[in-house]
Amino acid sequence: MKIMMINALRRTSLLFALLAVMLSACEKSAEISKNSLDVKATGTADVVYPLTGTDMSNGILPKRKLPKAVLTKGFYSFPHIKVQLIDTVCAEYLEKTKKVDLSYIPDGQVNHILGKGEFTFYADPDFVQQGLRKLSPGSKGWWTHWNYSPYTESENPIVLIPLDRRYGTKHITSSISLDFGTAVTTFGFEIAPNSIGNDEKVRVTYNNFGSYRGQTMFVVEQTISSPSGARLIAVKSDVPFNYVQIEILGQKPSTAGFAMGNIRYELAK
């Protein structure tokens, strides 16, 4: 009888040991499975920019000659204004201006006030509730090639995507107004459409008052494309200004706005 009891205890102990091993193996398997799902989720971007024509094999095009920008003055309001159009990056432009630092903004975050220190700008003047989403270059941000020198300052910059915040943070808009906290005499930025294979016409209007109701000083129009078709649009004026309207002309909703980067300024003295 005693031997039979000992054997029974041994069998019970062995059974508990086997159950413990099986449970441990199941927990490890579940943990591995969970980690795999986490990696898959974090390794996939929610949205790929540009939104249309997302053919990853067409992310860069050969360098080509592009048309010049066209400047038109607001003759009735400012007939004697002196303004210089800058549509290619040169040493003087880089030396005279300062670049807006966007490194402090987390990737994907939407802001309506950007910049810090001596220069800030607002993306929702007149309470229109617009914002700008920051995207770094790469497969999880802006993946297409920006452009070559001298058309742009860098080939893969940090960019900002305009959004209409009234309809949520994923509603992209084809126009935006920027109100500067301090008047400037030079302002420049690079811009490309948020779509692949389309030539788009962009118009930039400059005012000397922080509202669309201000007088138009001058207007710049330029043709842009993606990939490898971003363009610099910069002006230097002897009359300070503090309001800029940027819009893509005739753009269909499916082409989904634009991206802008390498923003530079020179404060009015």
Residue 191 has φ and ψ, to the nearest 5°, of: -145, 145
Could you tell me which CATH number the domain at 56-267 has?
2.60.120
Task: For tokens 């990737």, name the residue.
Answer: 107
Domain spans in the chain, listed from the N-terminal domain onward: 1-44, 56-267
Residue type present at position 239: V
Long-range own/partner contacts, residues 197-201 (CB < 8 A, 24 or more apart): 197/53, 197/58, 197/225, 197/226, 198/52, 198/53, 198/225, 198/226, 198/255, 199/223, 199/224, 199/225, 199/229, 200/224, 200/225, 200/248, 200/249, 200/251, 200/255, 200/258, 201/248, 201/249, 201/250
Alpha-helical runs (H) found in 43-128: 91-96
For each of the chain's 269 residues, which pLDDT tens digit applies? 434 443 443 444 444 444 343 434 333 333 322 222 222 222 334 677 887 766 666 789 999 999 999 999 876 677 788 999 999 999 999 999 999 999 999 999 999 999 989 999 999 777 678 899 999 998 889 999 999 999 999 999 999 999 987 766 568 889 999 999 999 999 999 999 998 888 899 999 999 876 666 788 999 999 999 999 999 999 999 999 999 999 999 876 555 799 999 999 999 98
Q: What is the pLDDT of residue 119?
A: 96
Task: Output the pTM of the full model.
Answer: 0.80
Q: What is the pLDDT of residue 98?
A: 98
Q: What is the pLDDT of residue 57?
A: 65
